[in-house]
Structure 1
């Protein structure tokens, strides 16, 4: 007899309390194997696939795509112990345990029993819709036992404005944006490869919809993503004023807002900065890359060199590689450097972490930065790769700005900011010359050190930028 078990949204690590359903990977009636991914969710730190610890027939799904669920809320129910549709007698129970061999017990992402993955089959219980939660259903004959052929990667199948059908779109962000503005993706012609719908296509559709609706009478409208107030009365012949848009602070944006607010409220930060002549650093980088030859491996980036300079500076000034235990009123100096670097992605600002950066050379750090950056761009960073940093390097020069006063990445004690490297007039060897100049800024927690230590750290970094040979003395 089939046993119906309830699988709840697990704690995905790092104290996360909720997640947003991005895409269901199974439907009601599907046969799933132990530890098979069943849903793709977006947390405040990463986008992950959640595996189910039970093997059997999916009898119910809880939550629509785009909705948020708290940790511990039901995700789906699975009828365990039968390859046919479940009988009507058992009820879902959070207290029931799977029989031997039917579940892994591993509900955290990345864990599994290693059991062979069964081919996916669709078993549709009689009278059951795919979207409605079902506790039990009468037995039904299996439909075509042949495995369901997966859809192409560039096609997501789901409901758009109440209609079912394939949509040529990959990014969950694009789908969410379309849902927010009630844009039917199937009515769009994608400008990407093979007709792929990009965010720019959705933005254009939103603008066209706004222009078409500007002459109509404004209405009060509430959706799951925004609340738009009714427009005030306007005189004849005047265009209706644009309505304000409310954007919920959740997901990555919400996590960033919480962390920055906490940093400002808890950390008494101060900032010091200095202009440095980076001409010699750029020349040293060019020499390194030239020495490697055309096929000598990846090039060393400026960010990798600055990261290596930071680890050397933190060895001299360990006060800045620390955190503050406010409850115990203690400064905790950390034994290793886990270097975070700010990266801008479609999901927002994230800070991947290079583990044990103090044990790596510039080439190793550069390779790890490149690997983590690619994962960040594709939304595949795990929560573990976004946490545990002890010091952050922020290269805001890529945005074309010279300086900034960055907010410390709580609970760290300091952040080094780097502006763009630009040719500027500079006094060199007593004469005016055009040199490659960069502004460096250090924001630090004034509880862990005073200005002398912060200034010493920043001056050492600037000296290494201006005279890279200085760094050789500490290698």
Structure 2
């Protein structure tokens, strides 16, 4: 006899406590394999496909698409060892409508029984949140309030309800212990077919809220909270400088002309950043408010802003100080592809120590970005365009870029911030300057 296994929303790490169901990947009655993804959820960090550790037949799902569930809430139940859903025997008509010899209610499997986790009462669960619970097969008992599987007299009654569009969860059964009978479903069908009275004319409120309302949750909500916290806690300041990027662009063209993987401009700027942070480690730090300390960090975990359909995300390149431009280009490309596909793991979006923001891709020259809390600084890069520029005493058309540095004034003063930005600009204008630190 198959065992029914309950799989809960697992701990997704990084202190995440809830997730929104974006898309179910399986339906009730589907056969799933071990570690097959069964649902796609969106956390405050990223979109994640959740695999189920059990193989068998899906007997129930919990939560509609768009529902937020806490970690530890039931996601699905799986009948392990079953290759198809069992058919429950139909009850005789006399017993279905009848006297005292009514069969025990059958808990049907043929429908998606979505319920918020807090009302799940079919079986007690005492295991840890992170591990699914094995539920041994027992004689089904109708709960006081229907939750999860609904008590129905027979599969025929369930089919009648499904064909007629009746939600069994909304019915109160007239049978013993709330058992839903054929007469209950037929009464509900009759009510659905009855003409509805004309609605009364709505009364406009004194002040009507206008415009489209968009829930501030998921990735967008997490970004909003982080930016708000940055503004509340960090006394930031911004300095900027225009730099002649002609030589940097020429150096990139020379690198890409020799064959091999292409080097991106972002990768060259990232390499310049890591060299600058080695000279000015104050900007690769964070502030511990509780301890009233500035913590200088040993590694550069470089975040970079990436725009996606779901909003702005900041993937992180680990130990960027040990990577060359070719390695940085490959990692930027890999993380950007995952970000656009919504497949970044929470670990890919956390732990950054410094952020590089290339807002020039939007066709703008400058910006004063908000620091990615709890970091201490962010380098902004505008578009690289042809401009008149004095070069070697002569007016010439050169490729010019505006660089801006927004920094936490608690970790350093303007002299340190200016020194960092000037070194970055010097490397952009003359890449040979960078060779001294390689």
Instruction: Classify the TM-score, shorter chain.
Output: 0.7 to 0.9
Contact preservation (8 Å) 1:304, 1:365: yes
| 1:43-192 matches, cutoff 5 A | 43-80=43-80, 85=85, 91-95=122-126, 105=131, 133-134=148-149
Partner of 1:7: 7
Q: Measure the CA separation in 2 of the matches of 1:24 and 1:32.
A: 13
Partner of 2:370: 407
| 1:210-249 matches, cutoff 5 A | 243-249=210-216
**Match 1:283 to one of 250, 272, 276:** 250
Contact preservation (8 Å) 1:324, 1:411: yes
TM-score (norm 2): 0.73
TM-score (norm 1): 0.68
Structure 2: give runs of 5+ residues left out of the alignment.
89-105, 108-120, 134-146, 156-164, 166-200
Contact preservation (8 Å) 2:8, 2:132: no
Q: Measure the CA separation in 2 of the matches of 1:461 and 1:136.
A: 69
Contact preservation (8 Å) 1:263, 1:409: yes
| 1:377-388 matches, cutoff 5 A | 377-388=340-351
Question: Match of 1:271, SS?
Answer: strand
Partner of 2:17: 17
Partner of 1:443: 406
Shift of 1:396: 0.3
Q: Measure the CA separation in 1 of the matches of 2:382 and 2:68.
A: 38
Q: Measure the CA separation in 2 of the matches of 1:135 and 1:95.
A: 23
Partner of 2:389: 426
Structure 1: give runs of 5+ residues left out of the alignment.
98-103, 108-131, 141-161, 163-218, 221-228, 234-240
Partner of 2:320: 357
**Match 2:331 to one of 347, 368, 373:** 368
Shift of 1:381: 1.3
Find the structure with the greater CA-based Rg.
2
Q: Measure the CA separation in 2 of the matches of 1:423 and 1:49.
A: 45
Cα RMSD of the aligned pairs, angstroms, is: 3.1
Which stretch has the larger CA shift, 373-382 or 26-35?
Answer: 26-35
Q: Measure the CA separation in 1 of the matches of 2:154 and 2:14.
A: 42
Aligned length: 351
Question: Aligned in 2, Cα 1:136/1:36: closer, same or farther, shift over 3 Å?
Answer: farther
Higher relative contact order (CA 8 A, sep 6+): 2
Shift of 1:54: 3.1
Shift of 1:298: 2.0
Question: Aligned in 2, Cα 1:231/1:403: closer, same or farther, shift over 3 Å?
Answer: farther
Shift of 1:4: 3.4
Q: Measure the CA separation in 1 of the matches of 2:78 and 2:204.
A: 45
Question: Match of 1:440, SS?
Answer: strand
Shift of 1:384: 1.1
| 1:443-462 matches, cutoff 5 A | 443-462=406-425
Question: Aligned in 2, Cα 1:137/1:298: closer, same or farther, shift over 3 Å?
Answer: farther
